[in-house]
Each structure stands twice: as C-alpha cells, then as structure tokens.
Amino acid sequence: MSVVDSPVGWVNEHIQKYIESDGTEGHEWRPGVFTLLLTTTGRKSGQPRRTALIYQPYGDAYVVVASYGGSPEHPAWYRNLAANNSAEVQVDSDVFTAKARTASGDEWAELWRLMVEVWPDYDNYAKKTDREIPVVVLERA
C-alpha cells in the first residue's frame, strides 16, 4: 500500500525532498529547527499517512507537538496514533518503528518548554485553542 503524504502543498514538497535526499535536505528545516517524518496508519482508511514535524530529542526518544496551528481539533496524525500507537519514524537517514505515547503532568510541562525553545509559536497556538495541545513521545519499538 502506498504512503499518502500530507495534502498541504509545502509540507508535501518538504517530505519529498526529505525522502529523495535520505534526510540530507529537509532534516534541518530552518536554522536550528529539525524535522522528522512520521508515518501513521489511517484510523479509518488503514493507509499509511506521512507528515513532517518539528522535533526535539528526549533521551533515546523524540518529542513532537500535536499543535495543528492552534486548531480546535487534534491533527489527523495524532488521532491516528490514538487509534494505533505504532508508527514509522525517519530522523535524518535513520528509519525505525516507534511507539507513541502522550506526555502528561510534569513531563508534559517539561517537554512543552523544551519544544517552545525551538519553536516559540507553540505558545501562540496554545492561546488560540481551548484544548490542551498534546506533546507526544516517540520511543523506538
């Protein structure tokens, strides 16, 4: 089954460059801002779905934020992980299977600060929505 990439034009272009270059292009999206590719299983379609996300390392794991720009609903990739927490992750040229979990409590607060350091707009997104924006830890399976 072929992977369905993000329908957002610039994200799709970013993903294609990342894949074609094996992470050489796209891993560092902006100076000091790194991205990974996350492939989840569509909760309705069962199809693999891929997107690019800003991340930070967290020990041997990686942290991403389900901000969706402050939208009132969670992004599709997060809803897919809620249904099936297994995913494929590519960080630079390293591709691996991961298990996802949502941080909570003190860990959420610590990881939120970590992610805001690299992408301050997360705080602006949080002000635009009533939902608590999930912080997701991707651990190698």
Per domain, the residue ranges of the chain are 4-140
Secondary structure (3-state) at 6: coil
pLDDT above 90: percentage of residues in the chain = 98
For 93-128, the pLDDT digits (tens) are 999 999 999 999 999 999 999 999 999 999 999 999
Architecture of domain 4-140: Roll (2.30)
What pLDDT is recorded for position 1? 75
Straight-line distance from the first to the last Cα atom of the chain, in angstroms, rounded to the nearest whole number: 22
pTM of the complete model: 0.96
**Residue for token digits 């901000």?**
67
